Structure 1
Amino acid sequence: MKLSAHFDSSEFACKCGCGGLHNGADINPRLVQVLERMRAIIGKPLVLSCGYRCPAHNAEVGGVSNSQHIYGTAADVQCPDGVMLQTLYDAAVTAGADGIGIYSWGVHVDVRGYMARW
């Protein structure tokens, strides 16, 4: 199901195939808006390595018990080709993400309702 101009619910579906959050269709709309803004800032498509995670899958991958992924409010965004990690992080800040974590592969962004950085 199309969630916005550039994102489909399948990109947010739990990787275990459980169908949780209606296979990604019920992901938080504000998260999708943040990701759309990031895409516009970067000027390139974003690749999501993770969106929603059911509690069982979250535990399997070593996620914290209160991960924003289990609430449908987070996504992990891989660094697009030719885009520096700092640029992706800066785009997340400018786009209005609440939680932002920087990793070697890209950034975690979420809309938890308060600011968090790591």
Structure 2
Amino acid sequence: MGSRYFSDYELECHGDGCCNGGVDKINPILLQKLDQLREMVGGALELSCAYRCPVHNEEVGGVPNSQHVLGNGADVQTPNYRWCSTPEELAWYCEKVGFDAIGIYDWGCHVDVRDNGESPNYYRW
């Protein structure tokens, strides 16, 4: 397992001593799609969150069945590239990669593979 472009540190839980990082709990399909997204965008991407342990998830106010806790979700910050500088433009790339869900926020996009990347109709909010 592993990502071509994202380090274990970027992917692990960032709670304060609540777990061992949980990188081993991340869905390999999520890693594959994050790498594809990075290649499609054509430049570095920053993750603000990938795996979150249940304790840290509760601390940040996440929902109990969060895709982050299940190892299926990541939050991708909008890069500042000429061709991709808004959350909507980032979402376009996310859609092309084939994530099962894309949430558009002012800071970027939540993406996940809740259906192992096989959802015939992806969720978008």
Q: By how many angstroms is 1:38 displaced?
A: 1.0
Distance in 1 of aligned mates of 2:86 and 2:95? 15
Distance 1:81 1:19 in 2: 32
Note the alpha carbon deviations across 1:48-82, whole angstroms, 9 max, x for none.
00011111111111111110000111000001123
- Give the structure with the higher percent helix: 1
Q: Confirm whether residue 79 of structure 1 aligns to residue 78 of structure 2.
A: yes
Aligned-partner residue type, residue 73 of structure 2: A
Is 2:98 the counterpart of 1:96?
Answer: yes
Shift of 1:20: 4.1
1:45 aligned residue? 44
Aligned to 1:36: 35
**Partner of residue 58, structure 1:** 57
Runs in 1 of length 4+ with deviation above 4 angstroms?
A: none
Write the distance in 2 (CA, Å) between the matches of 1:34 and 1:5: 11
Larger mean CA deviation between 8-17 and 103-112 belongs to 8-17
Aligned residues: 115
Kept in 2: contact 1:9–1:25 (CA 8 A): no
Q: Which residue, 83, 107, 123 being the options, matches 1:116?
A: 123
CA RMSD, Structure 1 to Structure 2 (Å): 1.5
Shift, 1:4, TM fit: 2.5
Amino acid at match of 1:99: A
Gaps of 5+ in 2: none
Using the alignment, how far apart are the partners of 1:58 and 1:19 within structure 2? 14
Letter paired with 1:116: Y
TM superposition score normalised by structure 1:
0.90
- Give the share of equivalent positions with the same residue, in percent: 49
